[in-house]
Amino acid sequence: MFAAMAYASGASAASFVIGDENATVGSPVVFWGAQWWKDNPLSTGFAPAAFKGWANTPGAAPSCGTPWSTDPGNSSDPPPAPLPELIDVVVSSEITKSGRTISGNATKVVLVRTNPGYEPNPGHPGTGTIVSVVCPSEGGGIT
């Protein structure tokens, strides 16, 4: 007998993001939260503190090599709770802020098993564990 699992892949036009230094299978991750920049080291340094983990563009499902951008904090319009049990999450090595726009690259996409507790308020972090790599990429441009 098989248990049903909720999985969001390719259906979303936006995505959560994690730093590339945490992006190994089996690693616990924080993909949404007030302290995202502290919880997600990047190989190029730190993300802006205003980034909370939700990329609301490019308007397509997460994919390797496709740059993304977003607004700071709750302005990014994160999805309502509860999240599906499994979600695709973008992995970034570089995230910058120019004016109100935060942007980054997509070096990988990983599959994350979510933990309970997420709320679209960054004070209620979204956490989980990486279960597999969906796609790798040799780079990924920054917008």
Average confidence score pLDDT of the chain: 87
Quote the strand ranges of the chain, DSSP E. 7-8, 15-19, 28-32, 54-55, 68-70, 86-92, 95-98, 101-104, 108-114, 126-136
9-63 pLDDT, tens digit each: 444 547 999 999 999 999 999 999 999 999 999 999 999 999 999 999 876 778 8
In a domain, 111, yes or no: yes
On whether residue 42 sits in a domain, the answer given is: yes
Q: How far apart are CA 143 and CA 141, in angstroms?
A: 6
The whole-number average pLDDT for the span 92-108 is 96
Is the pLDDT at 3 greater than 50? The verdict is no
Residue at 1 is within a domain:
no
Classify residue 5: in a domain, yes or no.
no
Query: Does 11 fall in a domain?
Result: no
Q: Is residue 87 part of a domain?
A: yes
Let me know how long the chain is: 143
Question: How are beta strands 28-32 and 86-92 bridged, if at all?
Answer: unpaired
User: Which of 3-12, 41-50, 124-133 bottoms out in mean pLDDT, i.e. has the lowest?
Assistant: 3-12
- Which domain range does residue 111 map to? 16-136
Residue 72 lies in a domain: yes
In the chain, % of residues over pLDDT 90: 73
The total of structural domains in the chain comes to: 1
